[in-house]
Amino acid sequence: MSNPTILCIDDEALGLQIRKAVLERAGYQVLTAVDGATGLTLFRGHAIDGVVLDYYMPEMDGGAVAEAMRRERPAIPIMLLSAYINLPADVVSLVDVTLLKGEGPHELLEKLRLMLGSAASSGADEGHASGGAA
């Protein structure tokens, strides 16, 4: 449990790889997906401690992905990353944390750490449950 697993979903393949490197450097295990559908498959098939989700994606946007995840395993914390300032309010209320792209890796890591910490304190046993209880 020393290395939490993070699922990263973003249609920007290059940005996704770089973000993965940053998170790995910070000690996380990282799974990546370039679209929502692949992301949901990984979400279902792996033990995941947190999700870093891009909002603006073709086919299925971050809001739809977050909604599906909440339906299945609501305890898993989700961070919504976006270059947009004006995110729809219902989507913002659905996720734990939002972060503006470009705020930098320190902000990303700090917010991720806080999100995982608060999730662990509220329900530590759920974090590692394989296959999910929901």
Residues that bind another protein (CB under 8 A): 11-12, 14-15, 18-19, 21-22, 25, 56-59, 61, 83-86, 100-106, 108
Minimum CB separation of residue 3 from another protein in Å reads 17
> Cα–Cα distance between 31 and 82 in angstroms, integer?
19
| Chain centroid to CA 49 | 9
Q: With respect to another protein, which residue has the nearer C-beta, 16 or 76? A: 16
Q: With respect to another protein, which residue has the nearer C-beta, 16 or 40? A: 16
Beginning with the edge strand found earlier in the chain, give each strand of the sheet holding 50-54 in spatial order: 29-33, 5-9, 50-54, 78-82, 97-100
**Coil/strand/helix, residue 124:** coil
Minimum CB separation of residue 37 from another protein in Å reads 13
Q: With respect to another protein, which residue has the nearer C-beta, 95 or 99? A: 99
